[in-house]
Amino acid sequence: MGQRKIKHKHIVIVGAGTTGIMLANNLARSHHNVTVVDPAVIHYYQPGFLFVPFGMYHVRQLGKPLAKLLRRRVKHVRDVAVSVQPKAKTLQLETGEVLSYDVLVIATGTQTNPTKTEGLVGYGWRKTIHDYYTPDGAEVLRQKLNEFQGGNLVVQVMDVPIKCAVAPLEFVLLADEFFKKRQCRDKVKITYVTPMSSAFTQPIAAHKLNHILTDRSIEVVADFQTEKVDQTAQKVICYDGREVPYDLLVCIPRNVGAKYLEGTGLVNDEGFVKVNCRSLQSLAYPYIFAIGDAADIPMGKTGSVGHAEARTLGRNIKAYLAGRPVEETFDGHSNCFIECGAGRAMLLDFNYDTQPCEGTFPIAGVGPMKLLGPSRINHWAKLAFRWVYWHRLLSGRAIPFLPERMSMVGKRMPPELASVAAPKLASAEKTNKIDSNPNGNHNRASKDKTAKGGRKTP
């Protein structure tokens, strides 16, 4: 009997960010053909951008050639996706090339768009108004912080969701330490402004973080739905009339999905791909998947979420191409370090259904890392993660002691905070089934941004 001929399928991954690389390297070990589309030459360790303004890293320390990070069996097409035709299973590139696919994975992440907020971009941009989510922005802000002698430092989240929801909190805590070392903290008022109802999305963690912020004399202005920035008066204005003055505004601009997905029926109002939150399969087309920041799931846009997603999605793509059912096992598992300054960091471990708990990580009862409380070993673990990122995470392989799904072994809910814990996934479960409608008309209810005078979703 002759050997059964293996039919090779074509998997196209758009985007070579963290999750795109992880997934490509994972799938490269299969017999299928894998193509990654991304114009980048250098891949950056983006969590490091947070430390650049404080002189802890230089941008040049955070990048590596993309070609060295992808396995040899992965074909890298240095081009930009301009449109996707889901029914035809084709992807149009900027150069005019058209790629056909059997499976399409959208991994183009999220991009900051400061033009989405009135008055944010203008003569004050990169002078009195800064960001740090890009290499250039982080470097320019480093110089500005070194020159800043006193006044109102405002760190503001313009809208949600954003990439790495804890990064702005880390910024204000590192800024507190930075100005203390320069012996001018008493001359700097630090204010954290957020559209959320508290400092963080998870109630238990928010309770802990609010105490830390209060102890550091950092003011939190919550429920702030930004209408515009008045660069002449140097103040940020909320729809309800509140104003926050600034001398230096460090902003996290509104995050949006990739432009080439507009009009495809694949995305929500913000441009993120509507998927089954347990399988990461498109709600409109079974041969389209999304991963990382590009996916619309009820969980933060972080690298640790992407690591767990890549493991699940790697299996699901292979299952789909083999004609087997995909698994709905992704639980939203996230490990989140929060740099607190003074050589300490907090570690959160949670998922769709479970709030951050007390305990130890990654080994129950042993640690060595402490959950839901600042510690020095957490700080060193966060810094050491850069090595793990380059040498283990991007390979697409499982990482010892970093489980794909969350375990409650050795963890407990803080008794005094049990009342603030609440189920999270009730609304997400509504998106948990694949729709048979190939037109992809799945208009979820838009986020209510009119509360407290907030803006309406455009």
pLDDT at 365: 78
- Same domain (yes/no): 244, 140: yes
Would residue 186 count as lying in a domain? Answer: yes
Q: Residue 59 sits in a domain of what CATH number? A: 3.50.50.60
- Which of 271, 250, 273, 274 is CA-nearest to residue 262? 271
- Same domain (yes/no): 147, 223: yes
- Same domain (yes/no): 286, 365: no
Look at phi and psi of residue 23 and say left if phi exceeds 0, alpha if psi is from -120 to 50, else beta: alpha
Token pair listed for 389: 């990122």
Say if CB 268 and CB 444 are below 8 A apart. yes
Q: Among the three residues 230, 254, 278, which one is the final residue of a domain in this structure?
A: 254
Would residue 207 count as lying in a domain? Answer: yes
Mean pLDDT in order along the chain per 10 residues (458 residues): 62 98 95 96 97 96 97 97 98 98 98 95 96 96 97 97 92 98 97 92 86 95 97 97 98 96 95 97 98 92 87 96 96 92 92 90 86 94 94 87 83 68 46 37 36 38
- Same domain (yes/no): 193, 73: no
Q: Tens of pLDDT along 287-318?
A: 999 999 999 998 888 888 888 999 999 999 99
- Same domain (yes/no): 65, 124: no
Distance separating alpha carbons of residues 173 and 167, to the nearest angstrom: 10
Would residue 143 count as lying in a domain? Answer: yes
pLDDT at 398: 79
Q: Tens of pLDDT along 69-92?
A: 999 999 999 999 999 999 999 999
**β partners of residue 77:** 37
pLDDT at 330: 95
Distance separating alpha carbons of residues 419 and 90, to the nearest angstrom: 50
- Same domain (yes/no): 314, 378: no
Distance separating alpha carbons of residues 447 and 334, to the nearest angstrom: 23
- Same domain (yes/no): 75, 177: no
Would residue 458 count as lying in a domain? Answer: no
For residue 409, the SS3 value is coil
pLDDT at 455: 40
The range of the structural domain enclosing residue 416 comes to 334-431
- Same domain (yes/no): 170, 282: no
Cα→Cα distances 325→30, 100, 276, 434, Å: 18, 23, 14, 12
pLDDT at 454: 41
- Same domain (yes/no): 103, 123: no
Kindly report the pTM of this predicted structure: 0.89
Distance separating alpha carbons of residues 32 and 296, to the nearest angstrom: 27
Would residue 454 count as lying in a domain? Answer: no
Q: Among the three residues 239, 254, 269, which one is the final residue of a domain in this structure?
A: 254
- Which of 293, 306, 380 is CA-nearest to residue 339? 380
Distance separating alpha carbons of residues 388 and 377, to the nearest angstrom: 16
pLDDT at 452: 39
Would residue 289 count as lying in a domain? Answer: yes
- Same domain (yes/no): 292, 339: no
The CB-based long-range contact list for 433-437 (8 Å cut-off, 24+ gap) reads 433/276, 433/283, 434/276, 434/281, 434/282, 434/283, 434/286, 435/283, 435/284, 437/284
- Same domain (yes/no): 236, 261: no
pLDDT at 155: 98
Token pair listed for 188: 């700097």
Q: How many domains does the chain have?
A: 3
Q: Among the three residues 254, 277, 304, which one is the final residue of a domain in this structure?
A: 254
Tokens 């598992």 sit on residue: 333
- Same domain (yes/no): 197, 141: yes
Would residue 446 count as lying in a domain? Answer: no
pLDDT at 366: 83
pLDDT at 391: 93
Would residue 396 count as lying in a domain? Answer: yes
Residues ≥6 apart with Cβ < 8 Å to 61: 48
